[in-house]
């Protein structure tokens, strides 16, 4: 598939939304969809959608719309869903536990290998079938395996140290839920942070303005 060289952050941020919406359409039994109908369900214009998808090559046929399943497959491919990514979770407090138990890693192409904590109450146990090891074992665990991503849900004071250890041990991405900005110098390691407060403050702004803004996704972020 040909791809245009430089894809903007805004487009990258929309790709997962396309994937999510197409998955829902597929589940609803929709076979083909026009760019205007897809746009409507996502709050985008038809021309925006055609532009976005054009970044990644030719999809769909003029006048016939997009085939839902193959467009979803193509976007999944672009997102790296079939690359066998692996992840470990650091921190098994309520949030870590909620994510381990409820988040569908496999639907997003990730295999959850293990969790790490320091509490004797959980070390040695399993959470939803995922083994919990002591944080001291992190390096030896990572040394023997390809682990792409470390998910951080540790307390704030431990966040940067655990991030440093993950990077030193060779992960390529950190999925950061600690609500602390992480400093990672390596250009080849990506930090993706989920800041709940940024989301609530955006909502606070919108309701303070009288709610005239459109419903929005946290991922949206562009114009």
Out of 109, 113, 130, 160, the residue judged to bind its own copies by CB under 8 A: 109
Site for its own copies in 202-221 (CB under 8 A): 202-208, 210-213, 215-221
**Looking at 28-36, 62-70, 92-100, 111-119, which segment touches its own copies (CB under 8 A)?**
92-100
CB 90 within 8 A of CB 162: yes
Tokens representing 100 are 């381990």
Of 30 and 95, CB closest to its own copies: 95
Site for its own copies in 179-198 (CB under 8 A): 181-182, 184, 187-198
Rule CB under 8 A: is residue 107 a binding residue for its own copies? yes
Rule CB under 8 A: is residue 108 a binding residue for its own copies? yes
Out of 19, 59, 66, 116, the residue judged to bind its own copies by CB under 8 A: 19
**Looking at 20-28, 60-68, 118-126, 139-147, which segment touches its own copies (CB under 8 A)?**
20-28
CA atoms of 173 and 88, how far apart (whole Å): 11
Rule CB under 8 A: is residue 24 a binding residue for its own copies? yes
Tokens representing 163 are 């991030």
Rule CB under 8 A: is residue 15 a binding residue for its own copies? yes
CA atoms of 153 and 107, how far apart (whole Å): 21
- Residues 52-91, one symbol each (x = binds its own copies by CB under 8 A, - = not), give --------------------------xxxx-x-x------
Distance of CA 211 to the CA centre of its chain: 28
The CA-based dihedral angle spanning residues 199, 204, 209, 210, taken in that order and rounded to the nearest 10 degrees: 110
Q: Smallest distance, Å, CB 63 to its own copies?
A: 28
Q: Which long-range contacts (CB under 8 A, 24 or more apart) does 91-96 make?
A: 91/115, 91/116, 91/117, 91/152, 91/153, 91/154, 91/155, 91/162, 92/116, 92/117, 92/119, 92/122, 92/127, 92/132, 92/153, 93/153, 93/155, 95/153, 95/177, 96/151, 96/153
Site for its own copies in 125-154 (CB under 8 A): 148-149
SS3 203: helix
Out of 94, 121, 144, 157, the residue judged to bind its own copies by CB under 8 A: 94
Rule CB under 8 A: is residue 116 a binding residue for its own copies? no
């Amino acid at each position: 598939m040909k791809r245009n060289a430089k894809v903007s952050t805004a487009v990258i941020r929309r790709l997962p939304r396309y994937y999510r919406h197409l998955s829902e359409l597929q589940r609803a039994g929709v076979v083909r969809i026009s760019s205007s109908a897809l746009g409507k369900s996502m709050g985008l214009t038809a021309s925006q959608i055609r532009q976005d998808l054009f970044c990644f090559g030719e999809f769909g046929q003029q006048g016939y719309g997009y085939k839902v399943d193959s467009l979803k497959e193509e976007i999944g491919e672009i997102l790296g869903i079939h690359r066998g990514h692996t992840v470990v979770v650091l921190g098994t407090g309520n949030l870590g536990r909620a994510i381990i138990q409820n988040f569908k890693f496999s639907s997003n192409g990730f295999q959850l290998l293990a969790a790490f904590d320091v509490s004797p109450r959980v070390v040695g146990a399993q959470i939803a079938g995922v083994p919990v090891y002591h944080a001291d074992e992190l390096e030896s665990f990572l040394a023997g395996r390809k682990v792409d991503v470390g998910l951080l849900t540790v307390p704030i004071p431990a966040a940067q140290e655990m991030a440093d250890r993950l990077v030193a041990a060779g992960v390529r991405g950190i999925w950061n839920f600690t609500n602390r900005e992480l400093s990672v110098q390596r250009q080849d390691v990506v930090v993706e942070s989920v800041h709940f407060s940024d989301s609530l403050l955006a909502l606070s702004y919108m309701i303070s303005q009288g709610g005239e803004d459109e419903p929005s996704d946290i991922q949206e972020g562009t114009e």
